[in-house]
Amino acid sequence: MNPIQETAIHAQHAVGSKVIDGIHAATKLFSAIRELGVDDALGWAGLERRHSPLRTLGVFGVGLALGAGVGMLFAPMSGKDTRKAIADIFKKGEKKAETVAAEAAAEAGAGFHEVTTFS
């Protein structure tokens, strides 16, 4: 065999080897992609699966309670003054609710009287 033929055969084997290496790498890539899940793709995008609404509300409630507690700890008023202020707010809310309920009852009674006298 002459040197040109040997070089051609060697190049042919090298190309064949590179093609087989490429196929092997592609097979590994495809198997890795096949093993990926939705969570992996969402993680790459900086997202995650949605959790149940109850869990979200629970986390929100815990955060709200912790924030209120920390806010009261660092409030400028004393504990006694803070409790008095909170009690006053609830008393005002209770009085407002009683007033609105009385007004609604009066309006309902007047509406009922109009309906019964109209008939």
Any domain includes 64: no
Any domain includes 97: no
Question: Model-level pTM?
Answer: 0.32
Any domain includes 2: yes
Number of domains, the chain: 1
Any domain includes 114: no
Q: What is the pLDDT along the chain (119 residues), one digit of tens a residue?
A: 677 777 777 777 777 777 788 888 888 888 887 887 777 777 777 777 777 788 888 889 999 999 988 887 777 777 788 788 888 988 998 999 999 888 888 888 777 666 667 65
Contacts of 1 (CB under 8 A, 6+ apart): 9
Compute the distance between CA of residue 85 and CA of residue 91 in angstroms, rounded to an integer.
Answer: 10
Domain that holds residue 11: 1-49
Any domain includes 11: yes
